Every structure is written in structure tokens, then in C-alpha cells.
Structure 1
Amino acid sequence: MSWGILAPDTLISLRRQQNLGLASAVRHFNDCSVPGLGGMWFPMPILWSVLAVSIAEELRVPALPVGNAIEALMMRQATEERLADRRVRGIRKMQGLEDWSFKNLKRRGTYVVQPIRMAMVQPLVALGFVRGSRYGAFTIHTAGAQMLNLPVMANYRRILGAWAHGGDPHGLKKMREDLSPNAAVPPEVRKLILARLIGGDDPSTSRRRSLVALGTGPSASQLDAVEPLSGITPDHWTDLRAGAAFMDLRNAALAVLYRLEHRLLELRDANAAAVLSVDEASNLAGEPLAALRQYARQQGDRIDARAEATSRKFLSEVRDLSIPQLLQKLAEREGTVIRWRDGRIGLGPAANEMSASGESEPVKDAEFAPQLFRLYNLHCVATELNGRVNPGCQDSADEEPA
């Protein structure tokens, strides 16, 4: 997801944009595999956002800064205790912060660059909690109103509303503890979210429900089978297999570019011209190029079976172009780390940038195909909504971002 950036301290690594012009296909296969989940892997941010949108409506302001302020407030207890938890943001960013007022927390730059609420846009809409297409313009919808009418949420809404109006209401500290990122979602709220996630009869809900019913999987090896697992429809299985194959094809293409980038950086560090001719690039990346072509031949039928235009066009380029043409096309598609200029391959503006961590994703589990990260995310959120420990929270974060 691309966001406007104005200040140096809000810089998001350009390497995250290294999508080869395939973003629409990535979105397509993610939505086909687990519709409507976005980047959600634990449910508490749904509560924060519903409260934020409700307060934004009352204040008649955009929901985005309100959402940031409320999320930052809920991180306070966790950050003060310096909890090593994948759900916690802002330990470094908010260290030493003394002004925890709504007015201060909603200012740009007070909280982290990539708040968790960014991953909530799709599930908030898909599960019926809000209306709208942009977080800043959200309004409360049916399920959101149901949530706010629950007695426990009505109390949280009252306290937060008073805080947003500049007060320091009684019960604010207890509410922060109740709604901190590592706290348990109130049971009645869990039941409502679970019902919205897997309780309906529309096609998207049916797909989510069938995956939750599996318990685990499908794994990458299970997706090699033509016949679907029990409970998964043939169309859904075709989408899952095509999505996993497409992600692997994209990753194989990126492996070619990584090989070229490594050599170009060596040349640059040696004060030599950091450019490669097509012939030089062909020889240098011969091994990953061969692997890319072989994968396209072996697994291309899985991608073709879905008939998604962007992925099929990319597949045909990998299968049909000559090696020089393919290298040029990959460099043209990339453009941020590697780029094509004047008939040669050189470094792009994001060369040697560190990849941003998958901040919306817990650690993967081998029982779930890693190409489709939403499979494991769905398992994590459904497990927690059923009152058990979220498996994505069992490993502590290696390095807390921002």
C-alpha cells in the first residue's frame, strides 16, 4: 500500500514497492484466497477503529487522525512496560512522551509511520463495521452500530468520547488496560466479530468459513494436488493453487533481480560503472533465470487456470520472451531497485534499501502455504475469536518498528 510521505522521519523503504507491476494480481489472489481479511491477524484493532470512526463522526472530523490517536493511546500500557509482542507499536517512537492528550496524539508524527489501522481498511468494510473506501471517510455501518450498543463498548465509547473532547475522564486507565493490543477482546465483542467473519452465507464468508473449518492449511504441498481438500469448493481451490503458483513465479523473478542488484552494488562500491549489458546480465543471472523459466513451464497451467489477466501476461513473458527480452522486461517492470536505461541494466533509486518487515503479519507456520499469508492470518484471528491463544502472538517481535 502506498502512502503520501512528506517528512524524512516518515520514510517508508521504496523496496516495499518492488512489485514488478503485479500489484493488481497480488490483490486479486489474496482476495480470492481469503476475501475481506486485509492484513488483520488479531481482532483488537477492529475495536479501536469502530470507536475511532464513531468519535470522528461526533467531532465531524476525518477518522484517520482519530484512529491514529486512539491506537497510540491503547499502546501506552504496552510501551511503558516495553512488552516484546508483535501486536505492540511505538516503543521507541513514543519513548519519553509525556503529553498523552487526544490533541497531541492525533498530530502527524506523534505515532508510528505504519499504524496497525492501515491493515484494517478492508476487513472493517467487508465485515460490515463501517461504510466507505478510505479510512479517513469511514462512517459507522450495521455491525459497527451493533458493537457500539454492547454495554462494554458503550462504556468505552463514553470514556473515549470525553477524552477526545479534552477531558481526563475517570476510568481512562482501566479502559487502556482493557483495550491494550495484548489484552483479551471482551467475549461478547469476540462473538460479534466471529459471526461477521464466518457466519454469513455470501460467497466471501463461505470461503473464510471453509478455511477456518480445516483447522490448519492448506499447506504448499497440499496445494500441489489437483483435487481440493474436504470442504473447499473446486473454484476456491483453483484460486488458491493459482495464487500460490503466481506468488512463487513472482518471487523467482525477483531472485533474478536480486542477483543483478548484488553485482551492481559490488561494481558501485568498487567505484566502477554500475551498469550491465544484457549479455553480462544473462551470464550473471543464468541460474535464477533457468529456475524462473523452469517454474513457468512446470506450474504455469495453475496460473492459466484462473484466467487472471495480469498474472497470465506476466507468465507469457517469462515463458515466451528471449532471455535478453525477458531481462529488459523485468528491469522495466521493476524500476525501483533495478532499472532499464539506454539499453543497459543499472541501479534504481531504492538499491540497497532494506526491505520493510511484514508488520501486519505474524510469523508463518509451515502448515499454511507461505505464498498466501492471509491463510495463516485467518487461522490466527479465528483462533483468538474462538477464545484460544492467538498463535501469531506466541513469538515475540525481533525488532519493534519505529
Structure 2
Amino acid sequence: MMTDWFIPEMEEFETQRALLNLNLNKAIRYYRELIVPGIGGVWFVRQLSWAAAGIKLAEEIHNFRPVKIANAIEAMACKLAWRQDRNQEGLRGKRAFNRYSDAWSFKELSQPKFYVRIPFRSSTVRALSSLGLTEGSRFNSMELTKNGSCLAEAFLSQKRGKSIRKAITDWIGGDEIRNIVDGLWRDATSEEKQITLDRLMTNTNDSLAKSERRACLIKAFGNYKKEDVPDLDSVKKHLQPDQVIEIKTAQAFDALLKTGRDLIYECAEIIDKDNIRIIGKLADKLDKMLKKLRSAANIFHECANKSKKQHQDAANFTNEILSIDLDNDEELLRKVITRDGVILKSAAEGNKIEKGPLFSRRKEMDEGAGNEKQEEFAGMEESSTEYKVRQLFELWRNCQ
């Protein structure tokens, strides 16, 4: 069965979206990395090329840190594409570009004010090292490997009258970028694509098991035309049993987290609408959701035992749920709310619930956690297992 996966439009977010993760952030990252290791937030080739080029030019120019150059290259690429088509999908920085339409210098576009505070580059750090393109863990201190240098050269050596390298170097030195439009935006060269695909399929600093997970998924994608987008259930049919149960475990964790989130949101709605604060009365109204939470915890526990892939934080949450008597809904609700603390919190008296510091932002948080069509881009750590696999599919497809 084939479905159309939604490919998100990149938008400008000047601050990170508030999220309700029930103190399970490390577990979320663990399961995302388990299923699709080593790609960070990268879902198209040029994210890696811009970053690698920034490191390469910083080595050659010496006057600026890699992060400043990489961010500026990315900003210029987006702004040149914006100038061609202001409604083009996939652009970031449109609000800043509209506000500062005459800002084109390196000095300007290397500043967040004239682009965005969170560029694509910020999501490449894990991928650059995991894919063997760089050495080092912090972007400004990274050094390109042979493969990383080849990727940077593939991007910088493009000819558009003069080379992209010469145009960008002159621009950094104070010249205008002039008419170089092609070659900077997201249409990567065949060489960039091949280098990236080779890195995705090749064992690097990660364990063999990690690289094999990624390679097996990519091989499964090869059963479909690149115009088609298979759903995750379809992809699993082409994977080995061990990898399938790992995916099922991650999906069961997603379901557990979502059920906990839904419980908090529903409880907040009752408090907002009916002003019921007594935890026992709230538990009575939420009995079906609390039953669903127990069921989700049982399913995750069974999957994790079978796969042997259970993060300790997820295990602790599961044990908290399953250790409470089935007839003690009040205690279960209290446990979840205590774990929350941002939308709701337990009152000092112990039998009441109070509004937390982010109570008024709960609808925004609900969208951020549950409606992935509104995500900044595929691959956010709070996104679902299905969305993480979708991210790898888009990166693989961009390499074709």
C-alpha cells in the first residue's frame, strides 16, 4: 500500500517550539537514533554541503569562524532562491528577507537578524561526524575528513562564470554576490549526491550494527520508484525481523508518549473549561484515558523485552505506570502530572492540580508534539519513528 507522506515546508522559527516530553527527552533521542542512526536533522544533501563548505573556507580565509561562514552561505542560498520566487516552498528566512530586502552583504547575512536564529546548519553537527565527513563534536572545531573535503570541493568548484568558491570568497571580502544564483540552492550536483549516498551506505565511526540499520532501510527504499513514497508498514516488509521488532519497539514508545501527552492535554482542558481541580474528580473523568495509558505501557514493555532495546528512562516511566493498582486511577494521574510540571503541576495540598507555567501554551505544544505537518523540518528529535524514517527516505531520494 502506498500513501503520500507529507513533505514539510521549511519555515522560520526564531525560538524552539515548546514541547511536552514528560522528562523522556533522552529516551526520545535514543529511539530516533536506534531506528535511523547518524543523520541528525539532515534531510537534503545541501545541508551537508553548506556546512562542509563553511568549514573549508574558514580553513582558507582564517578571518571568520566556520559557523559564521556556513550560516552566511546558507542564508545567501535561501535569499537568492527567495529573490527568484518569494513563495517558493522549502525556504527559511522569508520574514527576515521581506523585512530587510536590501540586505545582501556577508556582514549582514551572517547575522541571525537578517536570516533565522536556527539555521539548517544547526541540525547537521551529528550527521557530519557520524557520516565520516568531519572529526570533532563542536562545529567550530571540526576538521574535514577526506570525504568531507571532497563534498566541500564538489560544491565550491561549480562554475557560474567564475567558481562558486571565488564568488563566495570575494563576497566574504566585501564584494557583491552579483548574479550568481544557480549552484547555491538545493539542487546538489551529481558528485555531492554520490558522496552523500556513499556515506549513508558506508560504515564510519558508528558500530557496524548502526550503519547496517541505515543501509538496510535504504535498500528497502530501493523497492519503490523514487516518485513513490512507501509507508512504514510497507518498508518493514523488506527488513530483517530484528530490525522490524526494533521499529515496533520505537513505535510502541511513540504511542506511550503520545498517550501520556494526550492525558495531560485532556486534563488541562477539563480544568480550563470546568475549573475542576480535585485530582480524584479529574481521574474519574479521565478513566478511559488512564486505561489507555496502562495498555500502551504494557505494549511497550512487551516490545522492549522482545527487542532488548529499552532505554532506562522509558523503563522507569513504564514501571511507574504498571506498578500502580488498577483501581488507583488517582495515583496514576498524580504520577503523570508530577512528571509533567510544565502544563500542570500538583498543588501543595496533594489532592489538587494547579496550572503550570506553560498552561497557556498547551495548544501550541500539542501541535508541536502531535501534528508533524507543522514541524520545522523532518528529523526533529521529538518527531515520531515514522517521520524519522521518512526523513531518511527524503535524504536518500535527494541523492538520486
TM-score range, shorter chain: 0.7 to 0.9
Matched, 1:164 2:172: yes
User: Deviation at 1:186?
Assistant: 0.5
In 1: Cα distance, 2:209 partner to 2:63 partner: 35
Distance 1:300 1:33, change over 3 A: same
Task: Give the alignment partner of residue 149 of structure 2, picking from 141, 145, 152.
Answer: 145
- In the alignment, which of 378, 390, 394 is matched to residue 361 of structure 1? 378
Q: Give SS of 2:345's match.
A: strand
Q: How far does the alpha carbon of each residue in 1:240-284 deviate from its partner, in whole angstroms, 9 at most, with x for none?
A: 1211110111101111001012123335xxxxxx66221122023
Alpha-carbon distance in 2 for matches of 1:85, 1:291: 42
Shift of the 35–284 alpha-carbon distance from structure 1 to 2, 3 Å rule, reads: same
Change (3 A) 1:86 1:252: farther
The answer to whether residue 249 in structure 2 is matched with residue 245 in structure 1 is: no
Instruction: For residue 314 of structure 1, report the CA deviation from its aligned partner.
Output: 1.2
Shift of 1:10: 4.0
Structure 2 residue 193 is the aligned partner of structure 1 residue 190:
yes
Structure 2 matches for 1:2-401, cutoff 5 A?
10-13=14-17, 15-16=18-19, 18-57=20-59, 58-59=61-62, 61-97=64-100, 98-150=102-154, 153=157, 155-168=163-176, 173-174=179-180, 176-181=181-186, 184-200=187-203, 202-215=208-221, 219=231, 221=233, 229-232=237-240, 234=242, 236-266=243-273, 276-305=277-306, 306-321=309-324, 322-342=328-348, 343=350, 344-353=352-361, 354-355=364-365, 356=368, 357-361=374-378, 371-386=385-400
Give the direction of change, closer, same or farther, for the CA distance of 1:157–1:10 in structure 2 (3 Å limit).
Answer: same
Counterparts in 2 of 1:43 and 1:330: CA distance versus 1, 3 Å: same
Is the CA contact 2:155–2:189 (under 8 Å) kept in the aligned structure 1? Answer: no
2:280 and 2:376 mapped to 1: Cα distance? 39
8 Å contact kept, 2:154–2:189:
no
> Residues 258 and 375 from structure 1, CA distance in 2 versus in 1: closer, same or farther, beyond 3 angstroms?
same
Q: Does the residue aligned with 1:339 lie in a helix, a strand or coil?
A: strand
Q: Which runs of 5+ in 2 are unaligned?
A: 1-12, 369-373
Distance 1:71 1:292, change over 3 A: same
Q: Relative to structure 1, is the Cα distance of residues 191 and 20 closer, same or farther in structure 2, using a 3 angstrom cutoff?
A: same
Q: Secondary structure at the match of 1:160?
A: helix
* Alpha-carbon contact 1:256-1:289 (below 8 Å) kept: yes
Distance 1:204 1:254, change over 3 A: same
Deviation at 1:44, TM superposition (A): 1.4
Partners in 1 of 2:92 and 2:23 — Cα distance?
A: 30
1:295 Cα offset (Å) = 2.2
Task: Give SS of 1:109's match.
Answer: helix
Q: Distance in 1 between matches of 2:233 and 2:270?
A: 34
Give the count of matched residue pairs: 354
Please say which of residues 151-160 and 278-287 is displaced more in the overlay.
151-160
Say if 1:160 and 1:210 are closer, same or farther in 2 by CA, change over 3 A.
same
Contact 1:68 1:117 in 2 (8 A): yes
Distance (whole Å) between structure 2 residues aligned to residue 280 and residue 134 of structure 1: 50
**8 A contact 2:41–2:124 mirrored in 1:** yes
Whether contact under 8 Å (1:33, 1:372) holds in the other structure is: no
Matched residue type, 2:314: S
Deviation for aligned residue 1:72: 1.1
Instruction: Give, in whole Å, the separation in 1 of the partners of 2:345 and 2:68.
Output: 37
Q: Give 5+ residue unaligned stretches, structure 1.
A: 1-8, 268-273, 363-368, 387-402
Residue identity matched to 1:359 = E
Deviations 1:118-174 (A, max 9, x none): 2212111111222222334333233211223448537323322221222235xx532
Cα contact 1:304–1:312 (8 A) shared by 2: no
CA deviation vs aligned residue, 1:294-333 (integer Å, no higher than 9, x gap) = 2223443002332321111111112222422322221222
Matched to 1:326, the amino acid is L
1:102/1:307 CA distance change after superposition, 3 Å: same
Q: 1:331 to 1:64 in 2, by over 3 A?
A: farther
Partner of 1:400: none
Change beyond 3 A, Cα 1:220–1:230: closer
User: Per-residue displacement from partner, 1:196-250 (whole Å, max 9, x unpaired)?
Assistant: 1113483322211110111269856569xxxx7444362x333212111101111
Q: CA RMSD in A?
A: 2.7
